[in-house]
Amino acid sequence: MGSGHTYKLAGVMGWPVSHSRSPVIHNHWIAHHGLKGAYVLLPVEPKNLEQALRALPALGFAGCNLTIPHKVEALRLVDRVDHLAERIGAINTIVVETDRSLTGRNTDAFGYIESLRDARPQWRADAGPAVIVGAGGAARAVIIGLIDQRASEIRLTNRSWAKAHDMSQEFGAKVSAIPWEGRHDALAGAALLVNTTNQGMQGEPALDLRLDLLPVSALVSDIIYAPMETPLIAQARQRGNATVNGLGMLLNQARPAFEAWFGVSPGITPELFHLIRETF
């Protein structure tokens, strides 16, 4: 039987996981492409992660996504990790191979870069300095995505100095660490500003950042998608900067995972955007 005739399962493993929009995205694509299968929520406590992962082949799963808090731990538990995920230090996607082994991948860097290209087809990473605010897990994917697109200069600033410093050492000369107090001035001459902190999320205060020195030509990106317009995005839009929210990253990171599981390359249509918007 061809893959189109096989019932396939996929899902997102997290704790908690009920807020995830991934089922909306993947189940839309399953229906749209006339496939047989389902994408389900997999609430798995950290202490059960290994058992849950090992059960995937027996349960008929083509694979799964991983979200908080499993992305780093899962990397240590799978049989094989691809090079990009190894560099990022986390996996967000597992593919169950035909021999039932588990391969870990990370599609967040791809998702981030594609989201910029969708918003601005002419975007180039070497257009000028990029300022990254935040040095957590998502920042690692964003920075590696930018480096692989030949970014010329990356200025990394984080509330906790040590994380920005360590990351700049790890990622080489293109990435310089900027003390938190220097973040406002670091925007001078920048072509791209990215918020990778949780500041501006629903329930969190706005990111404390003055945009005065940021060129109006700079692209302002916030990887947060709830709300879709963070205070940073609103402020940037009002002063004339082009903006990108985190929804494009969320949708685009799902594409390679879906293709790996279901063998079909899915698209991001206005219909899908509409469906996701309705979940807010």
Which residue numbers are catalytic? 71
Using CB under 6 A as the binding rule, whether residue 197 contacts ligand NAP is answered as yes
Question: Is 261 one of the binding residues for ligand NAP (CB under 6 A)?
Answer: no
Among 149, 152, 198, 235, binds ligand NAP (CB under 6 A): 198
Q: Which stretch binds ligand NAP (CB under 6 A): 46-54, 58-66, 128-136, 168-176?
A: 128-136
Q: Which residues make Cβ contacts (< 8 Å) with residue 90, sequence separation at least 6? A: 71, 72, 75, 106, 137, 140, 141
Buried b (16+ CB within 10 A) or exposed e, 15-41: bebeebbbbebbbbbbeebebebebbb
Any contact of residue 136 with ligand NAP (CB under 6 A)? yes
User: Smallest gap, in angstroms, from Cβ of residue 107 to ligand NAP?
Assistant: 10
What value, to the nearest 5°, has the Cα angle with vertex 114 and ends 166 and 243?
85
Q: To the nearest 10°, the Cα dihedral for 244, 11, 148, 199?
A: 40
How many chain residues are in contact with ligand NAP, going by CB under 6 A?
23
- Out of 42, 113, 190, 250, point to the residue binding ligand NAP (CB under 6 A): 250
Whole-number minimum distance, CB 102 to ligand NAP, in Å? Answer: 21
Q: Which residues contact 174 (CB under 8 A, 6 or more apart)?
A: 147, 151, 152, 153, 154
Shortest distance, position 144 Cβ to ligand NAP, whole Å: 13
Query: Can you give the binding site for ligand NAP, defined by CB under 6 A?
Result: 108, 134-139, 158-160, 163, 196-199, 201, 223-225, 246, 249-250, 253
